Structure 1
Amino acid sequence: MRPAELERLSVGEAADRYVELVRARTLTGALAVSTAEVYARDVATLVELAGEATVLDDLSGEDVDAILLAFARRPDGRRSGAQGQQSATSQARFRRSISALFKHAALAGWVQLNPMAAATVTARQRGGLRAERRALTREQAQGLIGAARTLAGEPGQGRRDQRTELRDALIVLLLSTLGPRVSELVRANVEDFYTNDGVRYWRVFGKGGRTRDLPLPHDVALALDAYLDRERPSSPGAHDKALLLSWRGRRLARGDVQAVIERVQRRVDPTQRRTVTPHGLRHTTATHLLADAVDMDAVRRVLGHSDLSTLGRYRDELPGELEVAMRTHPLLRPPRKP
Structure 2
Amino acid sequence: MRPAEVQRITVEEAADRYAELVRAKTVTGALAPSTAEIYTRDVHTFVALAGTGRVLDDLTGEDVDEVLLRFARKPDGRRRAPVPADGSAPLQSAFSQARFRRSVSAFFRHAAVAGWVQLNPMRAVTVTSRQRGGLRPERRALTREQAEGLLGSARALAAAGPEEGRRADQRTELRDALIVLLLATVGPRVSELTRADVEHFFTNDGVRYWRIFGKGGRTRDVPLPRGVAQVLDAYLAERRARAVDTPALLLSWRGRRLARGDVQAVIDRVLARVDPDRRRSVTPHGLRHTTATHLLAAATDMDAVRRVLGHSDLSTLGRYRDELPGELEAAMRAHPLLGGPGAETGGSREA
Q: TM-score, normalised by structure 1?
A: 0.69
Q: In the aligned structure 2, how far is the partner of 1:35 from the partner of 1:263?
A: 26
CA distance in 2, matches of 1:186, 1:296: 26
Partner-residue secondary structure (3-state), 2:276: coil
Residue matched to 2:175: 167
CA distance in 1 between counterparts of 2:228 and 2:43 reads 46
* Aligned 8 A contact 1:84 1:275 in 2: no
Secondary structure at the aligned position of 1:251 is classed as coil
| Residue in structure 2 matched with residue 326 of structure 1 by the alignment | 332
| Contact map agreement 2:42 2:100 (CA 8 A) in 1 | no
The equivalent of 2:160 in structure 1 is 154
Identity of aligned residues (%): 65
Deviation at 1:119, TM superposition (A): 4.0
Distance 1:325 1:75, change over 3 A: farther
Residue in 2 aligned with 1:223?
Answer: 231
**How many Å separate the matches in 1 of 2:77 and 2:124?**
29
- Aligned amino acid, residue 234 of structure 1: A
1:1-338 correspondence to structure 2 within 5 Å:
25=10, 38=45, 42=49, 72=72, 75-81=75-81, 83=90, 85-86=92-93, 87-88=96-97, 92=101, 119=126, 121-122=128-129, 127-129=134-136, 134-157=140-163, 158-231=166-239, 233-236=242-245, 240-334=246-340
Q: Distance in 2 between matches of 1:257 and 1:324?
A: 35
Tell me by how many angstroms 1:79 deviates. Answer: 2.6
Post-superposition offset of 1:139: 0.8
**Residue 234 of structure 1: how far off its partner (Å):** 3.0
* Structure number, greater radius of gyration: 1
Q: Distance in 2 between matches of 1:203 and 1:183?
A: 14
- Give the secondary structure class of the aligned counterpart of 1:330: coil
Q: Distance in 2 between matches of 1:67 and 1:271?
A: 37
Alpha-carbon distance between aligned partners in 1 of 2:260 and 2:324, rounded to the nearest angstrom: 28
Could you tell me which amino acid in structure 2 is paired with residue 85 of structure 1? Q
- Amino acid paired to 1:88: Q
| Contact 1:166/1:226 (<8 A) preserved | yes
Q: Which amino acid aligns with 1:151?
A: L
Give the number of aligned pairs: 273
Query: Is contact 2:15-2:44 (8 Å) kept?
Result: no
SS in 1 for 2:277: coil
What's the counterpart of residue 100 of structure 1?
A: none
TM-score of the superposition, structure 2-length normalised? Answer: 0.67
Instruction: Quote the Cα distance in structure 2 between the aligned partners of 1:121 and 1:177.
Output: 35
- Per the TM alignment, residue 277 of structure 1 is displaced from its structure 2 partner at its CA by 1.0
Q: Distance in 2 between matches of 1:137 and 1:174?
A: 17
SS in 1 for 2:265: helix
**Mapped partners of 1:312, 1:30: distance in 2:** 38
Q: Deviations over 1:260-299 (max 9, x none)?
A: 1111111111111111111110100000000010111111
Q: 1:26-78: per-residue Cα shift (whole Å, max 9, x none)? A: 79x5676999985675369xxxxxxxxxxxxxxxx9xx999977964664144
